[in-house]
Amino acid sequence: MALHLPINGVCNIKCVFCSSHGRTGGYELPGLLKEITDDKTGHVQISGGDPMLRRPLEVLKIVAHAKKQGKIVEFQTNGVLVEKWPPRRLTQLSGLIDFWNINFSAHTPELDEVVTLTPGAFEARFRGVRRLLTLGKPVRLNYIVHEQNYRHAEEFVRFAAKSFPGFAWIQFSYVKGMGRAKGNTLVMPRFRDAAPFLTRAFRACDELGVNFDVDHIPVCFVLEWKDRHADYRKMREAQSGRHLAEKQQVADCGGCAMRELCPGPRKDYIEVYGSL
């Protein structure tokens, strides 16, 4: 469980799968600090929009407050603005957080432009990740699995292993049917279509010694790697949280051996496809 804390609502790229698109809310500093203070999970995900668009001193104040409260701090960003942040402030930020979570959902500039609709974002993100790796905190690459990129998941693994020595792990996070992806079959693939490509990617991870986990796809589609599945681990440990509220089992789950250890597909997936 974690407190997901958007600290702004704007972004500098236009990902076709963006789950925060259209989100509104108050991002005033006192309210954000209170949310952190009131949090009971012990893990705060600083997010957006893209949080690096907020003034560096305000970002540092938010993160410093979270650390003062004893939280694990995960900093979620697309990484494009890393090289534009004042170097001193970037070093300070890295010193406060526990790990970086970088949205990196393409292995080439051409595919990245299809995904983000932003020319030049790939190159800036590439340089940004390289920079973050010099600062000493773990870097997670978040590969949002969606219609435009699921066929290239294995290629991404090989690209990441070659390009970013020392990164911590890849999270293969199945697209949420929210924001720009809501109800959109041009963005949200069927589980059965994507699963074989994820299998190849996971085997490549094992081959190359790349750590990984997977989320938001029912466990039955990636059964060989169930111990890498975020929901499976949470269910096994009897954790409560959003993974239960956002998902529900369907008729197809009735005879599944994983029924007691998988919450089922996301509800926004069921709204589109009706079943697995």
Overall residue count recorded for the chain in this entry:
276
Backbone angles phi, psi at 215, to 5 degrees: -150, 155
C-alpha separations of 146 from 157, 172, 184, 222 in Å: 16, 10, 11, 16
- What DSSP character marks residue 192? H
Beta-ladder partners of 74: 45, 99
**What domains sit in the chain, N to C, each tagged with a CATH number?**
3-245 (3.20.20.70)
By the 10 Å C-beta count (0-12 exposed, 13-18 middle, 19+ buried), 183 is classed as: exposed
C-alpha separations of 75 from 27, 92, 149, 163, 255 in Å: 16, 13, 24, 21, 39
Instruction: Give pLDDT, residue 224.
Output: 96
- What DSSP character marks residue 86? -
Q: Name which of 70, 59, 57, 44 is nearest 7 in CA terms.
A: 59
Instruction: Give pLDDT, residue 203.
Output: 99
CB 208 within 8 Å of CB 161: yes
> For every one of its 276 residues, what pLDDT tens digit does the chain have, with 9 covering 90 and above?
889 999 999 999 999 999 887 677 789 999 999 999 999 999 999 999 999 999 999 999 999 999 999 999 999 999 999 999 999 999 999 999 999 999 999 999 999 999 999 999 999 999 999 999 999 999 999 999 999 999 999 999 999 999 999 999 999 999 999 989 999 999 999 999 999 999 999 999 999 999 999 999 999 999 999 999 999 999 898 887 776 789 999 999 998 999 999 999 999 999 999 999
Instruction: Give pLDDT, residue 118.
Output: 98
Instruction: Give pLDDT, residue 188.
Output: 97
Instruction: Give pLDDT, residue 25.
Output: 75
Q: Considering the entire predicted model, what is its pTM?
A: 0.95
Residue ranges with strand state E in 89-218: 99-103, 139-145, 169-174, 212-215
Q: How far apart are CA 136 and CA 119, in angstroms?
A: 29
Instruction: Give pLDDT, residue 22.
Output: 67
